[in-house]
Structure 1
């Protein structure tokens, strides 16, 4: 993902209000978010379903239901929990049952699940409290799976984006970041998720999964996705237009399209048998 507007693996504890504002900004255009954001590898969904004791799935931070619909298509019954009512409304309109609230405050009311998933959302959840709650609602042998994408466009696209972002939003804390960041930083973030799961002592030892894939983007497709990313959802129209113009020109110079190399990372653990 382009570095400057990306959703960080972990929000900075020094700026909780800024992180909260960013988290609440994705529902501004829920339809664009749903249509432009990438889906998840079929192999990952198949592996989660096969490794769970049954079909009942709780989707934490389900957003518009991008991941949830994949699990529904695989035969699962999915309940979403989503703090943004606008995203929840969109998901409901497309066939998903959703309850509005943060995962930490959500009340399971005695309900249990075979899998708890968090697709590109766990960095907004308290990692220890979230893991403890996941263990509480999982059935014996149930699986927690935290997953998300790492995607950095080629330097020919990333560098013009970074330059335009710094020019348009010089005071943003994101302006100081490099145009691209190595995969190792994201792998380290998922390793930290695993450490927090271990701290609960309620799961078997976590595993790390990885899926590499690619997708081709046209100029219009990429410019449709960019406004749904964290650093751009809160920009004014003039700032956004300046950035999109620079990125569009960069993609034009590549012939109007480019190939994105994706890595989908997952941290997963099975609830320990405490009987």
Structure 2
């Protein structure tokens, strides 16, 4: 099983455990793309509809493509009250659309899972001249003063051989746009705007473990390693007065115009 297919194993949990994107991100998306509810939108990798529902509520007509059968079913259930939204079960690479070109193609925490040799060329082919491509990811952020729990738990990841990045990571404001270079290198899109959003959520131990169960690396982790890691997380949070941690999130929205 490919890592991108692991998310379908936790379809209902993904919806409950993953955070909602900030309303301001959608405001920026609409401001940078200029789309109105009359536009045709295509979402790549909609999952359970995290980023589909907020735009459906704003009146948009959306075709949402999702690889996972269970995730697509969850999205259809949540979007049943929006007749202008269609959820298609398919990989983006294999999907063949019908009808007029789209005004906006977007992907929320899904673009990196699409074949790099296909994604920009296919998005450009599906867009009208001057149409927009928008992508963003929600990742772990480490602003100044981030929760020291994450420095402590790194020792456990390192002992398990699971740590892959240098520690500590750079602050959000010191990180470049993760998508801009690829947009430019594709030769098909000109970046017209970038916006960064950082927000925080508090988690109990069980809430945080449920979140970890939606990440491909933790899903694919050897069971004995995962059990040891989760036991350490529970133990360390149990020692805190309120038993909670604060995790910061960062989403970088990149919008490009088809050239």
Q: Is the 8 A contact 1:54 1:114 kept in 2?
A: no
Matching residue of 2:250: 263
Question: Which digits, 9 at most, give the CA deviation of each residue in 1:135-194, with x for residues without a partner?
Answer: 222234432111012314746332443333444x54xxx44444542246994461xx32
Range with bigger deviation, 149-158 or 208-217: 149-158
Aligned partners of 1:63, 1:162: CA distance in 2, in Å?
29
Residue 61 of structure 1 and its aligned partner are, at CA, apart by 1.1
Q: Compared with structure 1, are the counterparts of its residues 83 and 231 closer, same or farther at alpha carbon in structure 2 (3 Å cutoff)?
A: same
Matching residue of 1:102: 91
Residue 264 of structure 1 and its aligned partner are, at CA, apart by 1.3
Q: Compared with structure 1, are the counterparts of its residues 158 and 219 closer, same or farther at alpha carbon in structure 2 (3 Å cutoff)?
A: same
207, 216, 219: which is aligned to 2:193? Answer: 207
Matching residue of 1:138: 127
What is the count of residue pairs matched by the alignment? 247
72, 75, 80: which is aligned to 2:64? Answer: 80
Aligned partners of 2:190, 2:157: CA distance in 1, in Å?
43
Q: Greater helix percent: which structure? A: 1
4+ residue runs of structure 1 moved beyond 6 angstroms?
A: none
Aligned partners of 1:186, 1:103: CA distance in 2, in Å?
32
Aligned partners of 2:164, 2:119: CA distance in 1, in Å?
31
Alignment of 1:193-204 (within 5 A): 193-204=179-190
Alignment of 1:1-275 (within 5 A): 21-50=2-31, 51-55=33-37, 56-95=40-79, 97-127=86-116, 129-152=118-141, 154=146, 156-167=148-159, 169-170=160-161, 174-178=162-166, 180-183=168-171, 187-188=175-176, 190=178, 193-255=179-241, 256-272=243-259
TM norm structure 1: 0.78
3-state DSSP class of the match of 1:232? Answer: helix
Specify every segment of 5 or more residues in structure 2 that has no aligned partner in the other structure, as ranges.
Answer: 80-84
Range with bigger deviation, 53-62 or 178-187: 178-187
3-state DSSP class of the match of 1:228? Answer: coil
Aligned partners of 1:184, 1:53: CA distance in 2, in Å?
28
Question: Which digits, 9 at most, give the CA deviation of each residue in 1:177-229, with x for residues without a partner?
Answer: 44542246994461xx3223223443333432111222222222212111111
TM norm structure 2: 0.83
Q: Compared with structure 1, are the counterparts of its residues 180 and 79 closer, same or farther at alpha carbon in structure 2 (3 Å cutoff)?
A: farther
Specify every segment of 5 or more residues in structure 1 that has no aligned partner in the other structure, as ranges.
Answer: 1-19
3-state DSSP class of the match of 2:87? Answer: strand
